Amino acid sequence: MSVAELLAACSVVLAPMEDVSDAPFRAACRSVGAELCVTEFVAAEQLVVRAARARAKASVAGEGGRTAIQIYGPDPGLLLAAARIAAEARPPFVDLNCGCWVPRVIARGAGAAWLREPAAMVEMARAIVAAVDVPVTVKTRIGWGPESHMPIVDLARRLEDAGVAALAIHCRTALAGHAGAADWSWAARARAAVAIPVVVNGDVRSAADAARALAETGCAGVMIGRAAIDHPWIFREARAAITGEPAPPPPSARERIAMYRALVTGNAAARGELAGVAMTRRHLGVLGPSLGAALRPTLFRAPRLADTLAILDTAL
């Protein structure tokens, strides 16, 4: 299935988020409507040396061919080698991270740092497209800094010419980080300039936002990141809003507790009990305001999986 066909069937996409979009979280989101997901970003140099953590991040076995692998790094040769390794897992596509704005990533010349040298980004993508036998996509931002004219429209054309199968565009500059409002009009302009699918990203905080982003831009898909951390049900809500179906009911307390249980169980299995229980607390928001406030103190005092599950059972 081509990326265009995949997006036609799965237009609401879980964004790649470091230490968030791991296998347990993807499974949780998939259970409530996230049909297409992207892994956490995987460091190219770590994947090339087959580091255990990188291998775990890039593992998409059993996910039905609906999870893409995202890689990042500053070195074109290592990115090419990592793309070949990622392609061995037969993901629907390999995504190149050219949009992460985090200073430690940019300082290495990776992520959005590629936007400082668009020609180098295009040639890197061209080489990777030629080297692998799965589609290659790029996730990027609209530009590097405060330029009055963002390069994304011309860059989209050049990436299409390089053979890139689709683009995901976070509609802020690299230097903006998450500050200010995302300007979806840039995704619309890029979409109008190319024949390949464009996915709009940035400030999609609700189902209504998702439907509006698609309507305003004409993009093939919408990518949701931070809003899903506390409310993964946004995927089923967004799908209903986009298709004009009745809005699903909000998650019940029982659903919220089941979601947290699934996350903590999956994380404990994937990361070890203590680390898995601890890192799941970042998802306390899935319990909702009242239930989360009531359970937060006891959950933070429960280092073991059995204790955590007992607290959840008592809440039921």
Give the pLDDT confidence of 98-127 residue by residue, as tens digits: 999 999 999 999 999 999 999 999 999 999
User: Token pair 């949701």 is at which residue?
Assistant: 224
Give the pLDDT confidence of 32-83 residue by residue, as tens digits: 999 999 999 999 999 999 999 999 999 999 998 899 999 999 999 999 999 9
Give the pLDDT confidence of 260-300 residue by residue, as tens digits: 999 999 999 999 999 999 999 999 999 999 998 999 999 99
Q: Where are the domains of the chain?
A: 3-243, 253-315
Question: What was the pLDDT predicted at 147?
Answer: 64
Q: Which residues contact 214 (CB under 8 A, 6 or more apart)?
A: 11, 200, 221, 222, 242
- Assess whether 98 carries a catalytic annotation: no
Per the residue annotation, which of 10, 37, 100, 219 is the catalytic one?
100
Q: What is the pTM of this model?
A: 0.94
Question: What was the pLDDT predicted at 148?
Answer: 54
**pLDDT for 149 beyond 70:** no
Task: Please give the CATH number for the structural domain made up of 3-243.
Answer: 3.20.20.70
Q: If you average pLDDT over every residue of the chain, what do you get?
A: 95
DSSP string computed for 138-172: EEEES-SSS-SS-SHHHHHHHHHHTT--EEEEESS
